[in-house]
């Protein structure tokens, strides 16, 4: 079997690395090896995607790097579609594997579907039910043209069933768990923070919150961004906040000062999971960080009106507060009282599987059963 994996952002590389390790383990133990071709669209490319990043994360260099980043959603997706199609015609894979909900995800799935190559979608079935989000458009369209729908949760399976995809011929809905949980279990054993991050954690004596703000719905709305930052500034008067600044957010905040918030440059994955393991809680508008907070048994306050990870809200691990300053501050006041480590420990539901999602995905693609 030849699998062509399409990725374009750093989180997708981390997810793909988990599946690549499962492929490598399969190849070590079986006489029918899987060949994986890794294609990086270039949607996100920065210094953290350098050779050092690949070495630290134990990720193979991409076989193809298209160098397509920036521009409008339509222009970016169109360029990717054209270039990916050329690679598919050359490589002739048996399966195209895509992850998540980015423009790279949709372009890879569309290119494959047009050439009648089966598509496998990892993180299928997630829904925010907010069609203003480009990610929502990408994930819905990708699910519609995929043959294998690898769902991380029961909620994701239910979403696809509500859309009738279980009745479509040759489509498999599979609840496999979350490959990001696989990644966290693997990398937390080998992660070493940079001296700068280690020093900051020591300076704050493990008493701080971790925050991220990057979604366009917050950064492109001055009222929402100002409200969020005002709330974080107020909270940081009593508990320090470390905020790695996304380039988009940094540019918008250049004219303002937040003396009590620890504003730092974007950090790598090892630094991020180290900060997660030492912080008291998380404020974020990121999708992935909501789950990672749960993986590290940390309370999460989500600066959005909705979330794809609704089970975290239902089980009390996550609070949706939007961008209103008062709601954010009030949520923080109850963060210790309402959420304790015992809450997560008492929950043996394994919302995102058991850390074997990647192996399960490979077995299903090979037609095996556990």
Where does the chain have alpha helices with state H? Answer: 10-29, 51-56, 73-91, 103-114, 134-144, 154-162, 179-187, 195-203, 216-219, 222-235, 247-252, 269-278, 287-295, 310-314, 325-333, 335-338, 341-346, 357-365
Active-site residue identified among 26, 40, 121, 214: 214
Distance CA 211, CA 300 (A): 10
Distance CA 232, CA 336 (A): 17
Contact between 151 and 160 (Cβ < 8 Å): yes
- How buried is residue 278: exposed, middle or buried, by Cβ count under 10 Å (0-12/13-18/19+)? buried
Question: In 3D, which of 139, 82, 140 has the Cα closest to residue 114?
Answer: 82
C-alpha dihedral sign at 198, 201, 206, 208: negative
- Phi, psi dihedrals of residue 302, rounded to the nearest 5°: -100, 125
Annotation says 30 is catalytic: no
So which residues are the catalytic ones? 214
């Amino acid at each position: 079997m030849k699998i062509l994996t399409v990725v374009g952002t750093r989180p997708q590389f981390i997810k793909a690395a988990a599946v690549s390790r499962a492929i490598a383990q399969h190849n070590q133990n079986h006489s029918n090896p899987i060949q994986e071709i890794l294609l990086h669209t270039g949607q996100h490319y920065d210094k953290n995607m350098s050779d050092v990043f690949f070495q630290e994360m134990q990720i193979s260099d991409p076989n193809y790097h298209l160098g397509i980043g920036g521009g409008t959603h339509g222009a970016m997706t169109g360029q990717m579609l054209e270039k990916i199609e050329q690679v598919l015609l050359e490589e002739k894979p048996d399966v195209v594997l895509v992850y998540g909900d980015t423009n790279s995800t949709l372009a890879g799935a569309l290119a494959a579907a047009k050439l009648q190559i089966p598509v496998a979608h990892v993180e299928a079935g997630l829904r925010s039910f907010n069609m203003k989000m480009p990610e929502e458009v990408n994930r819905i369209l990708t699910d519609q043209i995929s043959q294998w729908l690898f769902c991380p949760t029961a909620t994701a399976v239910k979403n696809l069933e509500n859309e009738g995809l279980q009745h479509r011929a040759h489509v498999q809905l599979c609840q496999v768990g979350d490959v990001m949980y696989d990644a966290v279990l693997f990398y937390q054993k080998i992660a070493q923070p940079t001296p700068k991050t280690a020093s900051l954690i020591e300076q704050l004596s493990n008493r701080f919150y971790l925050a991220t703000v990057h979604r366009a719905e917050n950064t492109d709305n001055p009222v929402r961004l100002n409200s969020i930052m005002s709330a974080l500034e107020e909270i940081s008067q009593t508990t320090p906040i470390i905020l790695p600044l996304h380039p988009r957010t940094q540019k918008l905040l250049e004219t303002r000062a937040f003396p009590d918030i620890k504003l730092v440059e974007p950090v790598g994955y090892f630094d991020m999971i180290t900060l997660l393991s030492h912080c008291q809680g998380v404020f974020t508008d990121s999708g992935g960080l909501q789950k990672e907070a749960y993986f590290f048994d940390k309370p999460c306050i989500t600066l959005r009106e909705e979330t794809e990870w609704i089970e975290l809200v239902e089980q009390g691990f996550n609070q949706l507060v939007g961008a209103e300053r008062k709601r954010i501050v009030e949520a923080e006041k109850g963060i210790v009282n309402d959420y304790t480590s015992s809450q997560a420990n008492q929950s043996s539901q394994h919302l995102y599987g058991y850390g074997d999602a990647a192996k399960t995905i490979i077995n299903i693609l090979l037609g095996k059963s556990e």
